[in-house]
Amino acid sequence: MDKENKVLELLNVTYYYQTGEQRLTILEDACFAFERGKLYTIVGPSGCGKTTTLTLAGALENPKSGEILFHGKPLQEVGYTKYRSDKIGIVFQAYNLLPYLTPLQNLLVAMEITSNPIKDKKAYGKKLLGRMGISEDQMKRRIQKLSGGEQQRIAIARAIAADPEIILADEPTGNLDHETAGEIIAIFKELAHKDGKCVIAVTHSLFFAGEADVVVQLENKKLLPQEGQL
């Protein structure tokens, strides 16, 4: 694996849920490296810990043991808040756009939070939304007046608005029909292959998984790569 392309690395990561005396282990000494310019999908049965793995990658949770490295540097050193605001963008299954803002304003929030330098934020936001197929008219509408597919495209635009290196997506096509899901997957592929982002998506969809560069199987508390088509 090309060391320079390695963006995110899980090193002997263990994570479990403790309820009283019962312990549910999700990851045990799991190791995996994610590279830029690739679309990864994490697959596995329900409840195996796919979303938990994503939250660990997003620094929304800390591993019980092991380390997560960003460009070889532990997240603790990068700083969790800085990592979240500058280095990653998250796409949620339920889109979770701020309802009191327009699509463009939602993007401006992400641009305001990040410390990454972005010139002419408004123009850049419009450009991103346009790239996602959102018209000028739709950019000014209230979020609730847009379809699920449109909202997910805006959510993706928001995730990349701060120009992060990693995009984490939790079931991004879970609420969409097959055709719209196809459009969203195409956007993710474009972000990975054209923009050089590292896109990591958790999915149940075999169709989505089949489109990924690398399918990561969460099995026996380990992350196992399956290169190429399923």
Partner 1 sequence: MNYIKRAFHSIIFYWKNALMLCVIDTVLAALILSGITIYQSCRETGNDLKEQVLAAVTVRNAKPMESDSPIGKNQLSYDRALEAMDLLPSKLSALAYSATAGTNGLKSYRSAEQSEQYPDDGQFTVCGVSSTSDYEAFQNGEITLYQGQHITDERNRNAALISTIVASQNNLTIGDYISLDTYYEGEDTQVEIVGLYDVITTKSHTGAPIKNTENIILTTTTIVFAMNGNRQIASATFKLRQADSIRASIPDLEELFSTEPDDVIKVVVDDQDYRFLSGSIHLLTTVSQIMMVSAFLMGVISLSVLAVLSLRDREFEIGVLLAMGEHRLKVILQLMIEMLVPVLIAIGISTALSSFLSRRIIFIFITNSSILTETDSIAVLSLLIISLALIVIASIGTIFQILRFQPKKLLQKMG
Q: Which of 60, 69 has the CB closer to partner 1?
A: 60
Q: Which of 107, 209 has the CB closer to partner 1?
A: 107
Q: Which of 25, 81 has the CB closer to partner 1?
A: 81
Q: Which of 65, 229 has the CB closer to partner 1?
A: 65
CB of 100 to partner 1, least distance (A): 3
Number of residues that bind partner 1 (CB under 8 A): 30
Q: How far apart are CA 197 and CA 167, in angstroms?
A: 7
CB of 60 to partner 1, least distance (A): 4
**Nearest by Cα to 149 from 174, 113, 124:** 174
**Interface mask (CB under 8 A) for partner 1, residues 82-121, using x and -?**
xxxxx---x-xxx-x-xxxx---x--xxxxxxx-------
With beta carbons less than 8 A apart as the criterion, state whether 82 and 104 touch.
no
Tell me the two tokens of residue 1. 């694996």
**211-217 CB contacts, 8 Å cutoff, 24+ apart:** 211/39, 211/41, 211/185, 212/39, 212/40, 212/41, 213/38, 213/39, 213/40, 214/38, 214/39, 214/40, 214/41, 215/40, 215/41, 215/43, 216/32, 216/40, 216/41, 216/42, 216/43, 217/43, 217/44
Instruction: Pick the binder of partner 1 from 40, 41, 42, 58 (CB under 8 A).
Output: 58
Place of tokens 């419009």: 126
Q: Should residue 19 be labelled a site residue for partner 1 when binding is judged by CB under 8 A?
A: no
Q: Should residue 70 be labelled a site residue for partner 1 when binding is judged by CB under 8 A?
A: no
**Interface mask (CB under 8 A) for partner 1, residues 158-187, using x and -?**
------------xx----------------
CB of 41 to partner 1, least distance (A): 16
With beta carbons less than 8 A apart as the criterion, state whether 191 and 200 touch.
no
Q: Which of 11, 101 has the CB closer to partner 1?
A: 101
Q: How far apart are CA 138 and CA 28, in angstroms?
A: 46
Q: Should residue 73 be labelled a site residue for partner 1 when binding is judged by CB under 8 A?
A: no
3-class DSSP assignment, residue 208: helix
Q: How far apart are CA 206 and CA 204, in angstroms?
A: 6
CB of 75 to partner 1, least distance (A): 12
CB of 17 to partner 1, least distance (A): 11
Interface positions with partner 1 (CB under 8 A): 51, 55, 58, 60-61, 81-86, 90, 92-94, 96, 98-101, 105, 108-114, 170-171
